Amino acid sequence: MLFAVADGVGGYQGGKEASELAVAALRNRAGMMQNESAIKSALVDINEQLIHTAKARHFPNMGTTIALAKVLPNYQTGAGGTVITANVGDSPILYFSKSETDFGSESYRKVFTDDSFRDRAPGSTWAIVQYLGIESQEVDVHVQSFPFQNGDVILICSDGVSDNLLGENTYSRGTGAGDIEELVRRNGSAQKIVDEAMRAGIKRDDMTAVLVFL
């Protein structure tokens, strides 16, 4: 019940390897990641592992973003439960409630911290503040928990998907926001989301999407 997207950092050697290593490490520790503290500890350890690997392979600044959702169902009632999200970097995690009116005028809620300059400079969609594997600073893992109900949906994707579907509106409702809501709620297909992002052609970038149906 652990779902994640790792987007290797471009511009440096080893981005693909870093993303694969991060996902493999998460898979090995998934069973132990039952609370915020354990998840944060796991990502800090993966960060150190990536730094060590980068030095061994002589790949300076090798790294990856990470965005994940850990689903903890309420087995006693059989309905709902808790989601813990965590991220480092700018790969988005968006939460769509079963009730389309839960978030007022917004069609979804942003459940991650965007480690980029999008809020200050929306046109700057390539520069990120931190990622797993960065050696020049201590990694700051963003973690949050919230309850879910059966029928809710979570979208985890690379920024190549979100930037192409949402443009420069930095995850708030506006141009393209209705499209991503339609893709998630009505079509329910991660492949359709990626296809539409590629068709938009706003930004050439890696494109990965994971839909979690709660």
Q: What is the mean pLDDT of the chain?
A: 89
pLDDT at 146 over 60: yes
How confident is the model over 8-15, as a mean pLDDT?
84
pLDDT above 70 (res 104): no
In words, the CATH class of domain 2-157+208-213 is: alpha beta
Do the Cβ atoms of 21 and 53 come closer than 8 Å? yes
Instruction: Work out the percent of the chain whose per-residue pLDDT is above 90.
Output: 66
101/2: higher pLDDT = 2
Q: DSSP characters for 54-72?
A: HHHHT-TT--B-EEEEEEE
Taking residues 127-154, report their average pLDDT.
Answer: 93
Does 160 score more than 50 pLDDT?
A: yes
Please tell me what DSSP assigns to residue 9: P
pLDDT at residue 175 is higher than 50: no
More confident residue, 42 or 201: 42
Higher pLDDT: 171 or 210? It is 210
What is residue 101's predicted lDDT score, i.e. its pLDDT? Answer: 63
Contacts of 114 (CB under 8 A, 6+ apart): 90, 92, 170, 171
Q: Which has the minimum average pLDDT: 29-43, 47-61, 89-103?
A: 89-103
